[in-house]
Structure 1
């Protein structure tokens, strides 16, 4: 089933890809200024607890792009999504639209989170103590928001 693109779809995809492209461009343009040793891991409070070679930042970049592209591919196959509700001819379009919005929102958040983390590493900064709580609220909050919409479709 082909789900028609909405303005939200277009906006989220442009912003998400833009964030990832900006991350790559920033790293490429500032590579010489990035210290040889950068934060490679943060604890839950945002404190640096492991340092690594600056080339390790590519691991984060590669994972971000793999997730983004992988999710983009999965978006095209709604029939394999676990909907959590019975999909009928009457509700199929609405159910798949809600799930596509959820997936695209998560994809945007993933792009933003990985890019923010890579930028912090490149700048050798600690994360804010609020980083993890904000990430959890955004990720699970969006899941809850779209799940409530999905339940209402039943």
Structure 2
């Protein structure tokens, strides 16, 4: 029988969690307060260069926001059960705390990056603005750079 592992949140976790939650609540309030002022047709898809390539009704924003909240809540739930994570390294009694702490950092930091990405996209959608050619490369570098950093740290936990 596998034991339940609890990785306590430290200050860095709490700051990243707080920033992510503040972004989500802030953007959700922005949508509620500004809903009547948003145009009926808004950009609903962007190409790799950040240019608008599909327009849709503003009601489609609600789908995006619901998906965003569900994703955030599911990741938050998974974050609480490190024993179900695919660690990529053999977890032993000697390295368990380091492995799970490293993975928690990775999960929390990736959740913040993706949350900031959604927040930026949703605000740009409501303003009918393109994302800019820089957006996709920067997002990909942040996500894969963050993952690479934590995976390298994880491999060193052996």
Q: Which category describes the TM-score, using the shorter chain as reference length?
A: over 0.9
Answer whether contact 1:64 1:110 (CA < 8 A) is retained.
no
Distance in 2, matches of 1:30 and 1:49, equals 24
C-alpha RMSD over aligned residues: 0.6
TM-score by length of 2: 0.96
Q: Residue 8 of structure 2 corresponds to which residue in structure 1?
A: 4
Q: Residue 139 of structure 1 corresponds to which residue in structure 2?
A: 143
Instruction: Report whether the alignment pairs 1:14 with 2:33.
Output: no
Matched ranges for 1:18-33 at <5 A: 18-33=22-37
Distance in 2, matches of 1:4 and 1:65, equals 23
Distance in 1, matches of 2:16 and 2:87, equals 21
Matched ranges for 1:88-99 at <5 A: 88-99=92-103
Q: Residue 46 of structure 2 corresponds to which residue in structure 1?
A: 42
Distance in 1, matches of 2:107 and 2:95, equals 18
TM-score by length of 1: 0.98
Instruction: Report whether the alignment pairs 1:75 with 2:79.
Output: yes
In the alignment of these two chains, the number of paired residues is: 154
Q: Which stretches of structure 1, 4 residues or longer, exceed 6 Å deviation after superposition?
A: none
